[in-house]
């Protein structure tokens, strides 16, 4: 071969290797560039650039909000988008009251965030009132021009309530003053296998030779707790246990302990259809009284903790840690207090319709944001929200900084650093200061927490799940014990409106809301009544108050709404 041929050969090899390198590195570099925003616009700014400005947000979510930002993470956000983000929390125990006060004051920053799980939540009516009075921007035109939020306009992406109840309400003719967040990309997507309900101490169940999964009725539960009482079981301090202790989150009346005696409806609001298809509230059925009779029996025979409905969370948890309760009224398998699985699930108890069936909503939102009319260039905030909802945005606020908090694997997925995971385990407070969602500071969620599919985006169910597969070993063992997957496969998935979603447009809405609250309080009062006659008097008075507050008319409204496919009910 002459020199010319050699030169051509070398040139060919060089070209081939360059092409191969480019191809081979394509997948990885995509992740890298996504993470760091290395793609550049013609003017030298990264492709993720929005504007050089400061954006302030006021979040009405009480103590859930972390105001403190990590300077390095914020610097990265600034580099990528030009935005300096500042979050303010209302620091108020009741986010609803704070929102009311905030709207009334009118002095709002660039955007506001608030709780909103469905359109029946009280915040919705306040926001609607503000929107009607021209306080917020219509965000629909801006959202249409985004990468992620534009999915909200695709058929089937939004659940019915989010679409017609929260975002594109018919009264606003296509305008969107509220942006609902925390939606999943796929219907029914969930990474955790929650098993919620009453739990029993495993050693007690074993000692009595009982399989808790076979306790499916309140009669069986009653027989079980009588055996527990007779068994004389002790707690860690050598004191006798209470057969039934309160729910882990402190006093409250939740249906799972006596589900076959609760006219709970699809999501526990107390409205449900009877066998003939007629909508009834629990006050119009015998179930309230039946439940009262059951609870009175438990209380009078010393089978239930007398402070079951009022105990503070700290005392309830202390009792659980001391094993002072044989049965916990309600908890789930991911709570820290049961990491060793010494409590195992009971039942589930049947519903009033028969054997238990898991019920899931198609998708459901959790929070929302709006932009006040006083904000300049609202499109910048929408763009920021869209960036934070994208994979690269989520990578920043869920996983932190590449190199400092995580590395990328060959597929471009983040792998949290061991030292970060160790710090999170040993000192969660210090870890939180690193300033991203994986360590407990989800600052990006308030605008960009939507279109979730971490398994697809990051190859793992949650931050560090792949590196610590044992992290959820206990909960998953319980899920397996409870046959979660089987129950999940047979679940009833429904889409529609909650029963109280229309309370805001009901003329006696405030009175009815108050009467519904009073009914719940009356039920608890009846549990502690001297006898069933007194209990019946209490419940009759509560039912009468509901009638006066317009319960019948509200049910008629629900029937009307259900006829329209755009406002169909969940039940």
Partner 1 sequence: MDLKLSAAPARGRKTGESTEGRHRLRNRLIRHYQLYLMLLPCIVFFIIFSYIPMGGLILAFKDYQFNQGIFGSPWVGLTYFEMFFQDPLSLQIIKNTLIISAMKVFLAMPFPILLALMFHEIKRKKMQSLFQGIAYLPHFLSWVIVIGLVQRVLAPDTGLVNQVIAWLGGDGSTFFLMEERAFYPVLFWSYIWKDIGWSSIIYFAAIVGINPALYEAAKIDGAGRLQNIWHITLPGIRPTILIVFILSLGNILSAGFDQVYLLKTPGNMNLSEILDTYIIYMGLESGQFGFGTALGMMQGVIGLILVLTVNWISRKWFETSIW
Chain residues that interact with partner 1, rule: CB under 8 A: 94, 96-97, 100-101, 103-104, 106, 122, 125-126, 129-130, 133-135, 302, 306-307, 309-310, 510-511, 513-514, 518, 521-525, 528, 545, 548
Side-chain half-sphere exposure of 358, counting CA atoms within 13 A: 19
Q: How far is the CB of 442 from partner 1 (least distance, A)?
A: 27
The distance of closest approach from Cβ of residue 201 to partner 1 in the complex, given in angstroms and rounded to an integer, is: 20
Q: How far is the CB of 253 from partner 1 (least distance, A)?
A: 9
Minimum CB separation of residue 524 from partner 1 in Å reads 4
Q: How far is the CB of 58 from partner 1 (least distance, A)?
A: 15
The residue among 216 and 513 lying less far from partner 1, judged by its C-beta, is 513
Nearer to partner 1, 36 or 90 (CB): 90
Residues 167 and 387: their CA atoms lie apart, in Å, by: 20
Cβ closer to partner 1: 86 or 307? 307
Q: Shortest Cβ distance from residue 96 to partner 1 (Å)?
A: 6
Q: Please state at what angle helix 71-81 crosses helix 391-399, rounded to 10 degrees.
A: 170
Q: Which of 342, 341, 336 is nearest to 313 (CA)?
A: 336
Q: Which is nearer to partner 1, 351 or 370 (CB)?
A: 370
C-beta of 208 vs 541, nearer to partner 1: 541
Q: How far is the CB of 67 from partner 1 (least distance, A)?
A: 24
Query: Considering beta carbons, is residue 137 or 452 the nearer one to partner 1?
Result: 137
Contact 191, 363 (CB under 8 A): no
Smallest distance, partner 1 to C-beta of residue 44, A: 42
d(CA 85, CA 513): 38
Q: Which is nearer to partner 1, 301 or 422 (CB)?
A: 301
Q: Which of 207, 421, 248, 211 is nearest to 334 (CA)?
A: 248
Q: Do the Cβ atoms of 166 and 365 come closer than 8 Å?
A: yes
And the tokens for 562? 């259900």
Local structure of residue 40 (DSSP, 8 states): B
* Residue 413 token pair: 């997925």
Residue 265 contacts residue 555 (beta carbons within 8 Å): no
Q: Would you call 110 helix, strand, or coil by DSSP?
A: coil
Residues 6+ apart with CB under 8 A from 109: 56, 57, 58, 88, 372, 375
Nearer of residues 217 and 511 to partner 1, judged by Cβ: 511
Please, are residues 554 and 503 in contact by the beta-carbon 8 Å criterion? yes
């Amino acid at each position: 071969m002459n020199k010319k041929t050699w030169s051509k050969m070398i040139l060919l090899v060089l070209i081939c290797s360059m092409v191969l390198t480019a191809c081979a590195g394509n997948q990885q570099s995509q992740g890298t560039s996504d993470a760091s925003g290395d793609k550049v616009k013609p003017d030298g700014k990264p492709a993720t650039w929005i504007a050089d400005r400061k954006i302030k947000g006021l979040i009405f979510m009480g103590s859930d909000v972390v105001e403190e930002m990590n300077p390095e993470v914020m610097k990265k956000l600034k580099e990528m988008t030009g935005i300096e983000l500042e979050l303010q929390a209302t620091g108020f125990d009741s986010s609803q009251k704070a929102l009311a006060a905030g709207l009334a004051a009118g002095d709002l920053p660039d955007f506001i965030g608030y709780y909103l799980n469905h359109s029946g939540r009280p915040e919705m009516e306040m926001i609607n009132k503000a929107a009607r009075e021209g306080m917020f921007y219509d965000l629909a035109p801006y959202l249409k021009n985004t990468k992620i939020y534009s999915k909200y306009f695709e058929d089937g992406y939004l659940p019915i309530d989010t679409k017609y109840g929260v975002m594109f309400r018919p009264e606003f003719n296509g305008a969107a003053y509220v942006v609902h967040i925390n939606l999943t990309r796929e219907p029914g997507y969930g990474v955790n296998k929650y098993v919620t309900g009453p739990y029993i101490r495993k050693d007690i169940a074993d000692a009595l030779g009982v399989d808790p999964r076979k306790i499916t009725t309140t009669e069986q539960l009653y027989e079980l707790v009588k055996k527990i009482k007779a068994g004389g079981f002790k707690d860690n301090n050598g004191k006798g246990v209470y057969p039934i202790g309160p729910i882990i989150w402190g006093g409250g009346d939740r249906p799972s302990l006596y589900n076959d005696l609760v006219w709970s409806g699809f999501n526990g609001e107390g409205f449900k259809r009877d066998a003939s298809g007629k909508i009834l509230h629990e006050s119009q059925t015998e179930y309230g009284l039946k439940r009262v009779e059951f609870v009175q029996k438990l209380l009078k025979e010393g089978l239930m903790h007398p402070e079951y409905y009022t105990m503070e969370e700290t005392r309830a948890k202390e009792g659980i840690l001391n094993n002072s309760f044989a049965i916990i009224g309600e908890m789930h398998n991911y709570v820290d207090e049961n990491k060793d699985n010494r409590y195992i699930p009971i039942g589930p108890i049947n519903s009033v319709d028969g054997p238990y069936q898991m019920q899931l909503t198609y998708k459901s939102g959790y929070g929302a944001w709006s932009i006040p009319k006083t904000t300049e260039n609202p499109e910048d905030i929408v763009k920021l929200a869209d960036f934070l909802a994208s994979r690269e945005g989520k990578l920043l606020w869920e996983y932190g900084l590449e190199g400092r908090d995580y590395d990328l694997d060959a597929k471009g997925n983040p792998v949290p650093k061991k030292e970060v995971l160790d710090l999170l385990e040993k000192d969660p407070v210090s870890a939180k200061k690193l300033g991203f969602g994986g360590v407990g500071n989800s600052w990006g969620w308030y605008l960009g927490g939507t279109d979730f599919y971490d398994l697809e985006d990051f190859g793992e169910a949650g931050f560090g799940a792949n590196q610590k597969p044992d992290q959820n070993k206990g909960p998953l063992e319980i899920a397996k014990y409870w046959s979660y997957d089987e129950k999940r496969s047979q679940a009833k998935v429904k889409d529609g409106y909650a029963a109280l979603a229309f309370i805001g447009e009901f003329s006696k809405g405030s009175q009815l809301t108050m009467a519904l609250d009073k009914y719940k309080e009356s039920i608890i009062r009846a549990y502690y009544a001297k006898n069933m006659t007194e209990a019946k008097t209490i419940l009759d008075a509560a039912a009468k108050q509901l009638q006066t507050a317009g319960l019948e008319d509200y049910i008629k409204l629900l029937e009307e709404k259900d006829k329209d496919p755009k406002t169909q009910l969940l039940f």
